[in-house]
Each structure stands twice: as structure tokens, then as C-alpha cells.
């Protein structure tokens, strides 16, 4: 390997050796049809069955992606003898009930599901998430959460730099998002806009890089555009995460992003910056340009001679978060089940992200910093 290749950070999630494991898909919306299944087919995985509340939608997605079996409902998918892993893409207030029932089916030996890939947020709050994790553990089901920003190529590469000490001890990290997401209809019945939908990605990225913080302070206001559709509090969000090491992280989710939909010129982006005692990394995440494929980028520099001190390193990749990074969580689950390597983004690990989101809501509501331990203690889990 050349010196330049050795300095290039790892950006791809490794694939499983066995790609024949039957995957059952529950849901046929955008995330499943345009992200999961595109990534799975590109990696040679094996989706074998699908269901959706509207059978016609499931049939259309099955035809598009070559899935042989369409079931009338999700139970048909879970009970299908060809299905060993279930991929769930439904709203978060529906997901916990499905997971609970799959656990019961497995315990009664009416299904042979060994693994579940659940969407983020795993549940509507920490307590509910802890119950889901407990039930999967009891049923012997490996649970992984589709926190897919962790597997964005620039985010993953930055994590590799941190893990190898190229940047030194982390000092300050920021994620700035100024973009207008496509909100889902189910958000109106929850009254959620940003913290559990967008901020959760950034919180989980910080946790993937650095672990859980001690506390968080979050300030929010409503998004003027979304406020015309339904009432909410968590539109535009600013958060500061405090670590015992002295590290500070900040995230900004500006889903207003100026009156770009009202006639002004748009300026939408996602950027991150990580500063350490020996180096610095600057990244962009390209999803605001979707459906145009816009690969994420990473520029980094270090003061360490063994890692190429004194210059900017600018590796570039063809992959983009949407849809390429969506292979990461499923590949991790399959590698865990085959015994190649343990999954990292497990349900158990994801409870830290749920606690951080709950703490952010409480912080915004009570205008104070909230420790994550307070959320865990209040849940009784």
C-alpha cells in the first residue's frame, strides 16, 4: 500500500460474506423504495418479500426492485419462511408495536426472524425504546437501528481519522444544517418537526465520533413555513453538548433556511467541522441536493508528520449519503448475524441517542441544561 493510500481514511462500510440471507421489507415508502432497496440491490443483498398498508404500493416497489413475494400485511412478511431479517420502514409511533409482535411470533416459533433493522427514531421516547430493546433481547433477536448518517462516507471517514488519532484529542465539533427537509404526514399527529427527525442524526453522529455527552442545552423556535401547516415547537434548533473531557459540540438545524420557497434565492447545505489538538477536518454532506447525486466531501489537515503534516488532504468518493450510505446499517446487522463482526449501532447503543433527544426536548421546554442521566433515571429502565 502506498503512503498516500495509507493516509486515506476508511469511508465504506464492509459488506457481509453471506449476501443470500432473506430480507423481508415492511413498508414501501420513499426510504424503503428509493434508499434501502437501491442500496441493497447495489450491494447484492437478497430482499425476498415486502408488504405495505396499500398492497398496490408494495406491488409497485416489488416490481421495481425484483422482490418475488408481496404479502397482504407485515405479519405475512415476518412469518414468511424465507425471511430471516426484517427491515422496518414505518412511522415511529407504529414501529414499536410491530417489533413487539415480531418478538412474540419468534417466541411462539411462528417466525424465524433473527434480526431487525428498525428506523430512527427507534421509538417515541427513551422509555419506549428501552422496552423494545428488552423485548428483542428476550426473544433472541438482534436489533440494529438505521441511524444512517453514521454511514455517510465523509462522516465515516472523519470517524476513522479520530479513531486513529490523526486529529489528536477532540476539542470542538460543529454540525450546521441549513436545508428544507421533506416532512412526512405522520409528523403532524406527533407534533414533531426537527429534534426527532433531523437533530437526531447530528446527535447520533456526535455520539458515533465521541460517545455520549454529559449534558445538553437546546433552544428552539417554530419554523414559519411548517407552522402554516401544523403547530410545533421544535422547528429551528440550536444545541450545545458538553463532555467531561472538555469537548464541546454544537448542532444547528435551520429548516427554515430563509424564504427559499417563497421567492428568495436558496443557500442550502450541511457542513461539519472537527477540531483536535493535532488536526482539523472539514466536511460537507450532500443530501440537500437530492435527487441530484451529490457526494459528501472531507478535507483534513494534521500537524503529525507520520500522517502527512502541513497540507490539506482532500480525498473524494463517488458515493453519496442518499442512497449509498443506507447499505451500512443492514450490512452491519448481517455481519453480526454471520459472526464476522459485532454490530455497533444496536438498539442498546441507540438508547444513548434517544436519551440525548429526550434531554434536548426537556432542555428546550425548561430552558436549562439537562444531563442524560436524568432521562435514564426518570424512565425507570
Q: Mind listing the domains of the chain with CATH numbers?
A: 22-149 (3.40.50.720), 150-321+345-366 (3.30.360.10)
- Classify 276 as helix, strand or coil: strand
**Across 65-93, average pLDDT:** 97
Closest to 307 in 3D by CA, of 2, 8, 1, 104 = 8
* Higher-pLDDT residue of 156, 182: 156
Separation of alpha carbons 258 and 80, rounded Å: 48
Residue 365 has pLDDT above 70, yes or no: yes
Mean pLDDT of the chain: 95
Q: What confidence category does residue 183 fall into, taking pLDDT thresholds of 50, 70 and 90? A: confident
Q: What is the pTM of this model?
A: 0.96
Q: What confidence category does residue 11 fall into, taking pLDDT thresholds of 50, 70 and 90? A: confident
- Classify residue 34 by its DSSP letter: I
**Across 56-82, average pLDDT:** 98
Residue 34 has pLDDT above 60, yes or no: yes
Q: What confidence category does residue 165 fall into, taking pLDDT thresholds of 50, 70 and 90? A: very high
Residue 270 has pLDDT above 60, yes or no: yes
Could you report the per-residue pLDDT of 113-141, keeping only the tens digit for each?
Answer: 999 999 999 999 999 999 999 999 999 99
Q: What confidence category does residue 1 fall into, taking pLDDT thresholds of 50, 70 and 90? A: very low
Number of other CB atoms surrounding residue 376 within 10 Å: 19
Q: What confidence category does residue 380 fall into, taking pLDDT thresholds of 50, 70 and 90? A: confident
Residue 6 has pLDDT above 60, yes or no: no
Q: Is the dihedral of CA 120, 125, 127, 131 positive or negative?
A: negative
What pLDDT is stored for residue 182 in this prediction?
85
Scan for cell 456526535, then name that residue.
Answer: 206
What pLDDT is stored for residue 185 in this prediction?
86
The torsion region of residue 308 among left (phi > 0), alpha (psi -120 to 50) and beta comes to left
What pLDDT is stored for residue 3 in this prediction?
47
Number of other CB atoms surrounding residue 377 within 10 Å: 10
Q: What confidence category does residue 2 fall into, taking pLDDT thresholds of 50, 70 and 90? A: very low
Separation of alpha carbons 88 and 334, rounded Å: 15
Scan for cell 508528520, then name that residue.
Answer: 305
Cβ-proximal residues to 251 (8 Å cutoff; 6+ apart), any chain: 174, 175, 176, 177, 199, 202, 203, 206, 237, 238, 239, 241
Amino acid at each position: 500500500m502506498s503512503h498516500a493510500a495509507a493516509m486515506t481514511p476508511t469511508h465504506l462500510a464492509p459488506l457481509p460474506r453471506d449476501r443470500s440471507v432473506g430480507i423481508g421489507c415492511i413498508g414501501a415508502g420513499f426510504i424503503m423504495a428509493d434508499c434501502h432497496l437501491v442500496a441493497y440491490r447495489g450491494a447484492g443483498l437478497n430482499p425476498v418479500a415486502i408488504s405495505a398498508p396499500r398492497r398496490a404500493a408494495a406491488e409497485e416497489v416489488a416490481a421495481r426492485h425484483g422482490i418475488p413475494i408481496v404479502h397482504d400485511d407485515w405479519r405475512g412478511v415476518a412469518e414468511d419462511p424465507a425471511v430471516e431479517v426484517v427491515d422496518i420502514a414505518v412511522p415511529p409511533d407504529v414501529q414499536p408495536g410491530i417489533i413487539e409482535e415480531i418478538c412474540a411470533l419468534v417466541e411462539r416459533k411462528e417466525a424465524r426472524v433473527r434480526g431487525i433493522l428498525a428506523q430512527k427514531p427507534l421509538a417515541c421516547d427513551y422509555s419506549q425504546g428501552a422496552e423494545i430493546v428488552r423485548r428483542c433481547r428476550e426473544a433472541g433477536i438482534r436489533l440494529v437501528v438505521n441511524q444512517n448518517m453514521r454511514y455517510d462516507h465523509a462522516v465515516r471517514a472523519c470517524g476513522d481519522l479520530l479513531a486513529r488519532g490523526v486529529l489528536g484529542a477532540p476539542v470542538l465539533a460543529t454540525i450546521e444544517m441549513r436545508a428544507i427537509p421533506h416532512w412526512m404526514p405522520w409528523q403532524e399527529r406527533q407534533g414533531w418537526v426537527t429534534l426527532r427527525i433531523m437533530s437526531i442524526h447530528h446527535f447520533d453522529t456526535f455520539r458515533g465520533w465521541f460517545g455520549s455527552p454529559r449534558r445538553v442545552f437546546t433552544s428552539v423556535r417554530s419554523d414559519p413555513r411548517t407552522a402554516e401547516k401544523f403547530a410545533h415547537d421544535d422547528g429551528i434548533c440550536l444545541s450545545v453538548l458538553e463532555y467531561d473531557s472538555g469537548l464541546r459540540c454544537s448542532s444547528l438545524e435551520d429548516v427554515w433556511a430563509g424564504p427559499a420557497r417563497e421567492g428568495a434565492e436558496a443557500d442550502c447545505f450541511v457542513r461539519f467541522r472537527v477540531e483536535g489538538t493535532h488536526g482539523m477536518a472539514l466536511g460537507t454532506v450532500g443530501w440537500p441536493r437530492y435527487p441530484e447525486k451529490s457526494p459528501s466531501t472531507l478535507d483534513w489537515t494534521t500537524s503529525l508528520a507520520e500522517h502527512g503534516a502541513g497540507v490539506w488532504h482532500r480525498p473524494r468518493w463517488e458515493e453519496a449519503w442518499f442512497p449509498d450510505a443506507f447499505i451500512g446499517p443492514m450490512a452491519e446487522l448481517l455481519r453480526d448475524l454471520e459472526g464476522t463482526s459485532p454490530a455497533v449501532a444496536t438498539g442498546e447503543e441507540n438508547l444513548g441517542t434517544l436519551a440525548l433527544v429526550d434531554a434536548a426536548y426537556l432542555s428546550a421546554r425548561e430552558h436549562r441544561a439537562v444531563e442524560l442521566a436524568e432521562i435514564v433515571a426518570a424512565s425507570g429502565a
